[in-house]
Amino acid sequence: MDRFHLMNVFVAVAEAESFAGAARRLRLSPPAVTRAVVALEERLGVRLLTRTTRVVRVTEAGARYLEDACRIMMELDEADVAAAGVNAAPRGHLAVTAPVLFGKLYVMPVIAEYQSAFEQTSVSALFVDRLVNLVEEGIDVGIRIGQLPDSSLRAIRVGQVHRVVVGAPAYFHEHGVPERPEDLARHRLVAASGVSPTNDWVFQSASEKRTVRVQPRIIVNTNDAALEAARRGYGLTRLLSYQIAPELASGELRAVLTDCEAPDLPVHVVHREGRHGSAKVRSFVDLAVARLRADSALGP
């Protein structure tokens, strides 16, 4: 059988998690779908699917092959579009993810600009403070803050941020300014679990790395909440530099312990597609990279 046909049938079965569902989608008979999957597994010499009476699941090898097969099929579709002379017009649905506050401040403006420029596209945004698996959750483009684990994702660095301890001028007037990380024990602290998942705050001076065990009076699960507490003069909090850039610029908040901040965290735009990826992804990545690299809050 034709290799592309076998691949196309396998993808349909894997996505539908059903031979019957794939048969309906492809307008083939169920026996023809079964024969195609068996032929593909025999050709590759590996089991791609596990079958039970109720459901069909991809094996570990099947999951890897599914990712590659989807990419190949998408590249073939893009080749067809390019040959037709309309490759320059992004179209279709794009899924994007980013941390919550970063998405609000930096990614939404990019999405609005992108969608206004390419009206044949639609965009969904998943803003969450957790590591999103682009493959498993069907995401096209993501923004990652921090060191990247080894993966097959393509990554473009667009800047860096760092953790900053901040408080309101009124708070410092009443409670004083900490001169050393150890002085934090005498201050009211608010911890954002997304930025500081533990009570160990790490600082880095020219000569040494220091870890301070802090005792927050308030622990919140959103950065916005910690920021609001600091704005109101309740106490000190530790956030990423981009999250409090406007407040630092206006003087509403003041940074302390700046001579012993932890090392910078890189910011990357990541995606799954290669050099010949879809026009919708390439266009969004190019726009996001340009806008983020131009933002002074993300460093030089």
Nearest to 282 by CA among 88, 86, 80: 88
Pairing of strands 236-240, 254-256: unpaired
- 13 to 2, 34, 68, 136, 147: CA distances (angstroms): 17, 9, 15, 16, 36
The mean-pLDDT minimum among 45-49, 121-125, 271-275 falls in: 271-275
Q: Is the pLDDT of residue 87 over 60?
A: no
CA distance 58 to 51: 9
What's the predicted TM-score (pTM) here?
0.67
Q: Where are the domains of the chain?
A: 3-83, 93-144+273-298, 163-260
CA distance 237 to 239: 6
Q: Which CATH architecture has domain 3-83?
A: Orthogonal Bundle (1.10)
Question: What sign has the CA pseudo-torsion 36, 42, 47, 48?
Answer: negative
CA distance 88 to 275: 15
| Residue 51, number of CB atoms within 10 A of its CB | 13
Q: Average of pLDDT values for 118-131?
A: 90
The mean-pLDDT minimum among 79-83, 130-134, 181-185 falls in: 79-83
| Residue 290 banded pLDDT, cuts 50, 70, 90 | very high
| Residue 195, number of CB atoms within 10 A of its CB | 20
Rg from Cα positions in the chain: 25
CA distance 111 to 98: 12
CA distance 260 to 203: 5
Per-residue pLDDT, 249:
92
Q: Which residue has the tokens 């910011």?
A: 267
CA distance 160 to 296: 10
Q: Is the pLDDT of residue 142 over 60?
A: yes
- Residues 299, 160 contacting (CB under 8 angstroms): yes
CA torsion, points 251, 257, 263, 266, in degrees to nearest 10?
Answer: -20
The mean-pLDDT minimum among 173-187, 193-207, 213-227, 283-297 falls in: 193-207
Per-residue pLDDT, 72:
84
CATH number for region 93-144+273-298: 3.40.190.10
| Residue 3 banded pLDDT, cuts 50, 70, 90 | confident
Q: Which CATH architecture has domain 163-260?
A: 3-Layer(aba) Sandwich (3.40)
CA distance 104 to 109: 8
Do 93-144+273-298 and 163-260 have matching folds? yes
Most distant pair of Cα atoms in the chain: their distance: 79
DSSP of 54-89, one letter per residue?
A: S-EEE-HHHHHHHHHHHHHHHHHHHHHHHHTT-TTS
Per-residue pLDDT, 2:
81
